Amino acid sequence: MQRSVPWFWIVAIGLLLLAPGVTFRLLVDVLEGAALLAVVVPLLLAGAGLIAWQWARHRLSVCPACGATSIATLECPACGASFVETTQPPAPGSWFARAPETRAGDAVIDVTVSEVRDES
Q: Can you tell me whether residue 43 is helix, strand or coil?
A: helix
Pair type for strands 69-71 and 60-62: antiparallel
Range of the domain at 67: 7-85
Q: What pTM, to 2 d.p., does this model score?
A: 0.43
Q: What is the pLDDT of residues 11-70, one digit of tens each?
A: 888 877 777 777 777 878 888 999 999 999 999 999 999 999 998 888 888 888 888 888
Domain membership of residue 111 (yes or no) is no
Number of domains in the chain: 1
Domain membership of residue 42 (yes or no) is yes
